[in-house]
């Protein structure tokens, strides 16, 4: 694919690409983000494919103002206070998703919360306003490379893999946003970043708590760090055994199929949606077809292996 090099005067073109499900790298005050429509499973899967990510972590969705944020998530208490003081700016808040918000479960990794932020640069805000959708955007670099702070830096690694790069000059901050998640025990600092913890603690008049441990599973009243279906999961299933529901991949007779044509990007796009559908159907035993360990298959298998691990 040819990657368009766009400037501020091409803003409408960039917004139209996002609305059409395309991938557009754009500048925020922290780093350049690789943006795609956060409501679209296909656009979000394409982000992971372009970055060659071996894991599906939840992505940050970008919005132009607090009013837009409140259409997708509940903004209350300490989170609202931080939003009022620090947005637009290098702060991401992890918030409970509103019912019917229509965010792609791949963008949120199936969690009941979403990381949202309102970036500062006028160009980014104008793009988000004109796109009219929440824009999921991890840093615009291939997995394992440093985060880009200029359009040239994005082009070096992602040219040919994304639809466009919107050049708005260098980023001021140069490190990712600070991520804060309210929790029953108080606000937690999930990732230090461009806004100092001290300024946040000063605004809240209380210390920030550390993040939950990585392997944290759901406990009453607490936040899950990973989504896993309630049913038991068996991997590399060539056939369905009695009592199992088959989640297929490729040309197999399955109850639900991640991609009948064996396309890994399509399978990634469907993964969390299908797992959630199996949960909704109260399936107790899930068998999953073998999935090749290449490209996005690695991220799909990583997630399925965690789902299959004893809990």
Using rule CB under 5 A, residue 270 touches Mg ion = no
CA 250 to chain centre: 26
Interacting span for Mg ion (CB under 5 A) from 96-104, 147-155, 194-202, 262-270: 147-155
Sites for Mg ion among residues 86-145 (CB under 5 A): 139
Which of ligand TXA, Mg ion, none sits in contact with 108, Cβ below 5 to 8 A by type? ligand TXA
Using rule CB under 6 A, residue 231 touches ligand TXA = no
Using rule CB under 6 A, residue 40 touches ligand TXA = no
Using rule CB under 6 A, residue 58 touches ligand TXA = yes
Sites for ligand TXA among residues 274-303 (CB under 6 A): none
Candidate list 22, 36, 89, 115; residue touching ligand TXA; CB under 6 A? 115
Sites for ligand TXA among residues 19-38 (CB under 6 A): 28, 30-31, 33
For helices 41-51 and 264-280, what crossing angle results, to 10°? 130
Using rule CB under 6 A, residue 229 touches ligand TXA = no
Q: 179 or 254, CB closer to ligand TXA?
A: 179
Question: Which residues of the chain form contacts with Mg ion (CB under 5 A)?
Answer: 139, 147
């Amino acid at each position: 694919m040819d990657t368009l090099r766009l400037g501020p005067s091409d803003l409408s073109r960039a917004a139209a690409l996002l609305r059409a499900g395309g991938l557009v790298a754009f500048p925020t005050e922290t780093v350049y983000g690789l943006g795609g429509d956060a409501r679209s499973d296909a656009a979000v899967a394409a982000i992971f494919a372009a970055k060659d990510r071996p894991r599906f972590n939840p992505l940050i969705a970008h919005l132009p103002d607090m009013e837009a944020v409140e259409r997708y998530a509940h903004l209350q208490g300490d989170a609202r206070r931080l939003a009022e003081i620090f947005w637009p700016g290098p702060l991401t808040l992890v918030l409970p998703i509103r019912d019917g918000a229509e965010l792609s479960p791949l963008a949120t990794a199936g969690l009941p919360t979403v990381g949202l932020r309102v970036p500062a640069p006028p160009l980014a805000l104008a793009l988000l306003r004109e796109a009219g959708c929440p824009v999921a955007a991890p840093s615009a670099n291939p997995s394992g490379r440093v985060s880009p702070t200029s359009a040239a830096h994005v082009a070096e690694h992602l040219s040919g893999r994304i639809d466009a790069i919107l050049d708005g000059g260098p980023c001021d901050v140069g490190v990712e946003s600070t991520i804060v998640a309210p929790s029953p025990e108080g606000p937690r600092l999930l990732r230090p970043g461009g806004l100092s913890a001290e300024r946040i603690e000063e605004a809240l008049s209380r210390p920030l708590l550390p993040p939950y441990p990585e392997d944290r599973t759901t406990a009453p009243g607490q936040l899950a760090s990973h989504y896993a279906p309630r049913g038991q999961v068996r991997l590399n299933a060539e056939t369905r055994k009695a009592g199992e529901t088959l989640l297929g991949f490729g040309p197999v007779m399955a109850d639900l199929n991640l991609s009948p044509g064996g396309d890994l990007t399509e399978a990634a796009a469907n993964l969390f949606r299908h797992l959630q559908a199996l949960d909704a159907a109260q399936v107790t035993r899930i068998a999953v077809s073998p999935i090749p360990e290449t490209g996005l298959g690695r991220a799909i298998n990583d997630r399925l292996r965690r789902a299959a691990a004893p809990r």
